[in-house]
Amino acid sequence: MKLPETKQPAANGKRALITGITGQDGSYLSELLLAKGYEVWGIVRRSSSFNTARIDHLYQDPHEQGVRLRLTYGDLSDASSLHKTLRLVEPHEVYNLGAQSHVKVSFDVPEYTGDVTALGVVRLLEAIRDLGLETKFYQASSSELYGKAVETPQTENTPFHPRSPYAAAKAYAYHITRNYRESYGLYAVNGILFNHESPRRGPTFVTRKISRAAARIRLGLQDRLYLGNLEAARDWGFAGDYVEAMWRMLQADQPDDFVIATGVPTTVRQFCEWCFAEVGLPIEWRGSGVEERGVGPDGRELVQIDPRYHRPAEVDHLQGDFSKARRVLGWEPTVTVAELSKMMAQSDLALAESESAAAER
C-alpha cells in the first residue's frame, strides 16, 4: 500500500474519513460513498500481512488522475496519527467504525479494548475540536449496550446494561459522543446498530463461522463445527442496508441517535439450521447441554458444543425497534435474516468450491 500525499477534488466536493475502513462495514460504506461521489479516505493500521482484502476491489493507484479512495496509516490508539490525518484530509464527514469489535475477545484483552474502542473515540473528537473542523461525526454504537436488556424491543430510550469489556467501552464511546454534541455543538451522532452480517463478515463472528463451516463441511474441507450458546438470539440484518443508515444519519437536519435493526430476533440454532439446509446438509439436533449434537443426513455429527465459546457474561436476547429511523430517516431494512443466511451460505459455498478446485490443481 502506498501512502497518499495530496487531496483531490471529488465529484460531489465532499470528503469522508473512515476509521475501520478495512472491516466489514468500512468496505460497504466505502462503496456507498464512492458511488455518491465522495472522496473517501481510510485509516489503515499497520499489519505484518495484508489487511485490505475487503477494499482491494476499490483500490486505485494514487498516481492516477481523479483518484477518490485514499488510504493512510494510523491507529485509534495513537492520537498523533489521528490528528495528522484529520489535519491533512479536513473531512466533511468522519465515520468512526474502527474498534476491537469482538465481544468474546474483549474478555481476553479488556484494557486494549478500552484503549481502542473507548478512548479512540475521544482522541478523534478532541482532534476535531482542536483543529476547529466543522466535520460531522458518526460513532459506531452497538446493541451490545443493552446487554441484559430491561425491555423488549429495545429503543433509543432503553437503559444500557453492558455485559462485556467491549460493551463497557462502547458505553463510554456513546456518552462521550453525546457529550461533545451537547458541550461543543458538534454534529455528532450515535448509530445504535444491531448485529449486521454479510459474506464479508469476519469469520469468527457466529453467522459467518456457521455459513463458512457449513460450506466447507459440504465440500469435505472441514469435518465439524464447534459452537457455544445455541440459544442466544440476535436481531440480524444485512450490512449493506446498515451503512446506508449511517450515511442518512449524517444528512439529517439535526444530529441525533438512532436504533438500526430489523425487529426480528433469531437464535444461533435457527441460523445454523438454515445455513446447513442451504448447502444440502439439513441437520437434526440430538442430546442436550454440552452433549448436544447437530447430526447430518448420513448420521455424521456435524455440529458440537465447545464450552470454550461460552462467555463469562452472555447477552441472551436482542431485538431492536427501528421506528424512529423509519420515521426520521426514511430507512428500513431490505434483507430478511432468512435471506441473509442463504446469501452467506451461497457465498461461502462458492469460496469453498474455489478452494477445493485450487487444492486439486
Q: Which is nearer to ligand GDR, 259 or 268 (CB)?
A: 268
Q: Does 76 bind ligand NDP (CB under 6 A)?
A: yes
Residue count, binding to ligand GDR (CB under 6 A): 21
Rg (C-alpha) for the chain, rounded Å, is: 21
Distance (Å, whole) CA 167 – CA 93: 25
Max Cα–Cα distance, the chain, nearest Å: 65
Show the binding pattern over residues 106-145: x = contacts ligand NDP (CB under 6 A), - = does not.
Answer: ----------x-----------------------x-x---
> Binding to ligand NDP (CB under 6 A): which residues in 275-314?
none
Chosen from ligand GDR, ligand NDP, none, partner binding at 309 (C-beta under 5 to 8 Å by type): ligand GDR
CB 321 within 8 A of CB 261: yes
With CB under 6 A as the contact rule, the residue among 205, 248, 295, 347 that binds ligand GDR is 205
Q: Does 285 bind ligand GDR (CB under 6 A)?
A: no
Q: Does 54 bind ligand GDR (CB under 6 A)?
A: no
Count of C-beta atoms within a 10 Å radius of residue 281: 18
> Binding to ligand GDR (CB under 6 A): which residues in 317-346?
none
Q: Does 24 bind ligand NDP (CB under 6 A)?
A: yes
Distances (CA, A) of 289 to 209, 293, 309, 327: 20, 9, 13, 43
Chosen from ligand NDP, ligand GDR, none, partner binding at 227 (C-beta under 5 to 8 Å by type): ligand GDR
CB 95 within 8 A of CB 19: yes
Distance (Å, whole) CA 131 – CA 84: 10
Q: What is the DSSP string of 40-60?
A: EEEEE---SS---GGGGGG--
Q: How far is the CB of 36 from ligand GDR (least distance, A)?
A: 25
SS3 189: strand
* Nearest CA-CA partner of 197 in 164, 242, 233: 242
* Nearest CA-CA partner of 70 in 53, 82, 85: 85
Q: How far is the CB of 22 from ligand NDP (least distance, A)?
A: 4
Q: How far is the CB of 166 from ligand GDR (least distance, A)?
A: 7
Residues that bind ligand NDP (CB under 6 A): 19-20, 22-26, 43, 45, 47, 51, 75-77, 97-101, 116, 140, 142, 193, 195-196, 202
